[in-house]
A and B are shown apart, each in its own frame.
Chain A
Amino acid sequence: MKTLEQVREFYESELKQSLAAMEQDRQKMISKAMTVAGIIGAVGLVGGLLITQMGVHNGVLLLILPGICIAIGVGAFSVANKNYKTRYKSRIIHKLITFAQPGLEYWPEGGISKEIFTGSKLFTHSIDRYRCEDLVRGKVDKTEILFSEIHAEYKTTSGTGKNRRTEWHTIFKGLFVAADFNKHFRGRTVVLPDTAQKAFGLFGQTLQSWNPSRDERIRLEDVEFEKEFVVYGTDQVESRYILSPALMERILDFRRRLRNGLYLSFVGSKVYVAIPLDTNLFEPKTFSSAAGFESIKEYYNQLRFGLAIVDELNLNTRIWTKE
């Protein structure tokens, strides 16, 4: 991976010009939006006045007209904004990523499929809405890796007829990484944040053993690790083979540096990592400039974060039979 200093040089020599052009695009978009908003506002106002002049004093009609105007304005702006972001991502962020870590590819509109997400066995709830973007894929030294942003939700409906309400609930929103693991294994091991034990202590541990949607509970000898995580697996020995004392230490250390928790699973020779995030990755700002080095630095740090799992879990160490 290139250093920040190398990225700065790349920014000066390669990105600066394209960024300046993008910045012009952004400013044009904003001023266009202002003009369009002005026109729509004026049309709404004049239309409203005309209607009143014509002697129609229907409140609903007076509300509908500005409503339509606002909807058209917002719709047009979001299309323009999306186009700008897509251009920015394919022109700037794509260049940055392929420079910072050669061997990687970036698809702004791509994402990790729902099948891979559910196949990781990290979240067992059925999914009603699944969105993903910003797919990065490639090889870091010996390790194949792909990651993207994912937002998976389920819905609940309550009431009937006119009172029927649909609510959306997040199952997972954040960064999802799939990487090739450095040891061979056949079964399944899932490492989840330990919410039950934290809330209910020993009784929580018993509750965890009864979880019907999960495999056998694996009790590990690392007390700190047990406090932080709960582990389920198909094979007591294999799960411990994967979660060696050294790896448990690394996972714990990584967890301590994250704010919102860490989910890991080991399935089909791969490791899957889910990290809940509040921020949106690789997202250029609309209402302030994204042309400075600060923005580039932020995307670079986000890329490093996405790839961190390779070093955090030491995936490039290939001292076992898997090469």
Chain B
Amino acid sequence: MPVLFGLVILGLIVLVPVLMYNSLVGKRNQVANIFGTMDAMLKKRWDLVPNLVETVKGYAQHEKSLFENVTAARSRAMGGQMSADEMVQYDNAVSKLVGVMRATVENYPQLKAGENFLHLQRTLNELEEQISAARRAFNAAVTDYNNSVDMFPTNIIASMFGFQRKGLLEFEAQARQNPTVGF
């Protein structure tokens, strides 16, 4: 009987840390998985760049440099030569471009009536909500993971195996504002 009891205790001593380790790995993978989804959605939005530039360039000549920068950055992004920081900057530029488009439309109602534009606007609305959903999902996954890294007793396993806290995504205040465009 004592032997059996000892074996059960030994089993638990081995099993519990294994389960905790696995749950940490699972949560870390969940973060990576959602990051992948978000990345895919950002790229989808980038695919709309030529279309966006085409729509507004005739109406917003003074933003020419923005168009050129974004187009150049897009070809680099498509070639896969971007660092993470560059990606963030590029995404901000795309957000600015979307803002320019919205502001331009306000001043040129005839743009609004076009079928192409309507479709573009719907696609953009959809992608933006999807990106925002992915950001929220990412933050939820990171919070879940960070809780495990910080809380007892999983924090013991986390520090033993080098699980680091991850940062949350901040919503870009700038991306939410429409830039003022003078004509």
Contact = CB atoms under 8 A, between A and B. Distances in A.
Interface string A234-269: 001110110010000000000000000000000000
Given A219-B140, A236-B141, A237-B37, A319 B122 contact: yes
A237 B122 CA distance: 19
B133 A321 contact: no
B144 A219 contact: yes
A320 B118 CA distance: 10
B123 A237 contact: no
B41 to A, nearest CB: 8
Interface residues of B, number: 21
Interface string B111-147: 0000000010111011001101110110111001000
B37, B129, B132, B141: residue with the most chain A Cβ atoms closer than 10 Å: B129
Contacts of B140: 219-221, 236
- The majority secondary structure among interface residues of chain B is helix
Given A219-B144, A241-B129, A244-B132, A236 B122 contact: no
B34 interface: yes
Contacts of B144: 219
Contacts of B37: 237
B141 A320 contact: no
Contact of A320 (B126, B133, B139): B126
20 contacts: A183-B129, A184-B126, A219-B144, A220-B140, A236-B141, A237-B34, A237-B38, A237-B130, A237-B137, A238-B133, A240-B133, A240-B134, A240-B136, A240-B137, A241-B129, A241-B130, A244-B129, A244-B132, A244-B133, A320-B125
Interface of B: 30, 34, 37-38, 119, 121-123, 125-126, 129-130, 132-134, 136-137, 139-141, 144
